[in-house]
């Protein structure tokens, strides 16, 4: 017989507040066209992107996260001292150690919470949300701060015609806490490692270090058509599985917040899922670009701030990207 006492957590967990930060510099397609042979029309038709935000030297991964976190805490009505864990999803924090989560926790005045980084690419927010839900229900933390943050401008090859226009910078954060009713559904997540070469860093850090200093800095590259087909056909199936796991249908949805990778992918998923016209669809990619782990909370924050979505709405969120990895769940909006 085990002598371990049962955990004293909450029966359920929910998102209590959301905050976002977009760098002050707005970069239109015309700037991208200075280094690639393309056109504004081509970029818009292929991706739906018109502008993106690029961070200044002062707008570091930590600095953007602190700003987004402050807004999320205020929106949730939770103090930094109440945060029991900080989870940061990012692929663009260049220090291998320590985790940037520890710096963020200190800068927001969170005391001594658990703090760690995860690397799950564009599915990172979903991974972090799932971990946070488990912590709240298990009782290891009453409130958890989940941050998705990227400075992908640091990892963009501006001469790569296939990717130069895709990426942007920013941070999104949510506070997850206790709930008396289900407000974060079961997560459908996984990976397909046999496709890991379709989105990757061009050169590993150790190879870059060992080569001549004139070697091109590592950047993100992808096989666009392969990623598009996978996202449209396979991720629509995962999204449907998340609806099924939550016990609802597309008709029950109010909002759809997919990873903001590409407008054509978003529109194709809407069609494949046969979402009703009343469902609000996040299309933040047009003015924010692909911000990887930050894209879902940034899009969520904008929908709520503009009134396109409202507190209590039922939303399907799904992230997918490098790995290839994915995570989808149904949530009640804060």
- Please, are residues 331 and 132 in contact by the beta-carbon 8 Å criterion? no
Q: Which of 325, 43, 34 is nearest to 187 (CA)?
A: 325
Query: What gap in Å lies between CA 122 and CA 120, rounded to an integer?
Result: 6
Active site residues: 122, 259, 290
Question: CB 272: neighbour CB atoms within 10 A?
Answer: 15
Strand partners, 115: 86
DSSP letter, residue 142: S
- State how far the alpha carbon of 36 is from the alpha carbons of 40, 125, 162, 225, in Å: 11, 31, 9, 19
Encoding tokens for residue 309?
């979505």
Instruction: Verify cis geometry, omega within 30 degrees of 0, for the bond prior to 324.
Output: yes
DSSP letter, residue 233: I
Q: How would DSSP label each residue in 9-29?
A: --SEEEEEEEEEE--SEEEEH
- Please, are residues 104 and 173 in contact by the beta-carbon 8 Å criterion? no
């Amino acid at each position: 017989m085990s002598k371990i006492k049962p955990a004293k957590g909450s029966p359920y967990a929910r998102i209590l507040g959301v905050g976002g930060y977009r760098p002050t510099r707005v970069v239109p397609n015309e700037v991208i066209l200075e280094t690639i042979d393309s056109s504004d029309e081509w970029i818009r038709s292929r991706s739906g992107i018109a502008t993106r935000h690029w961070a200044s030297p002062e707008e570091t991964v930590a600095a953007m996260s602190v700003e987004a976190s402050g807004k999320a805490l205020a929106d949730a009505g939770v103090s930094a001292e109440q945060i029991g864990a900080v989870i940061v999803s990012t692929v663009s924090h260049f220090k291998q150690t320590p985790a940037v989560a520890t710096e963020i926790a200190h800068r927001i005045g969170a005391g001594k919470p658990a703090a760690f980084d995860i690397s799950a690419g564009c599915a990172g927010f979903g991974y972090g949300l799932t971990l946070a839900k488990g912590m709240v229900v298990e009782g290891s933390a009453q409130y958890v701060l989940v941050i998705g943050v990227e400075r992908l401008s640091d990892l963009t090859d501006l001469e790569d015609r296939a990717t130069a226009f895709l990426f942007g910078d920013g941070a999104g954060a949510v506070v997850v806490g206790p709930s008396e009713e289900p407000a974060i559904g079961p997560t459908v997540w996984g990976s397909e490692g046999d496709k890991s070469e379709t989105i990757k860093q061009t050169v590993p850090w150790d190879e870059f270090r060992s080569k001549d200093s004139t070697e091109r800095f590592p950047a993100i590259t992808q096989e666009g058509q392969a990623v598009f087909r996978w996202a449209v056909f396979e991720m629509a199936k995962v999204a449907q599985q998340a609806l099924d796991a939550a016990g609802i249908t597309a008709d029950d949805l109010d909002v759809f917040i997919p990873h903001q990778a590409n407008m054509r992918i978003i529109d194709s998923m809407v069609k494949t899922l046969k979402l009703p016209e009343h469902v609000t669809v996040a299309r933040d990619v047009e003015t924010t670009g692909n911000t990887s782990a930050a894209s879902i909370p940034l899009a969520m924050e904008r929908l709520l701030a503009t009134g396109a979505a409202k507190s209590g709405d039922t939303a399907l969120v799904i992230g997918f990207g490098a790995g290839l990895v994915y995570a989808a769940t149904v949530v009640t909006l804060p």
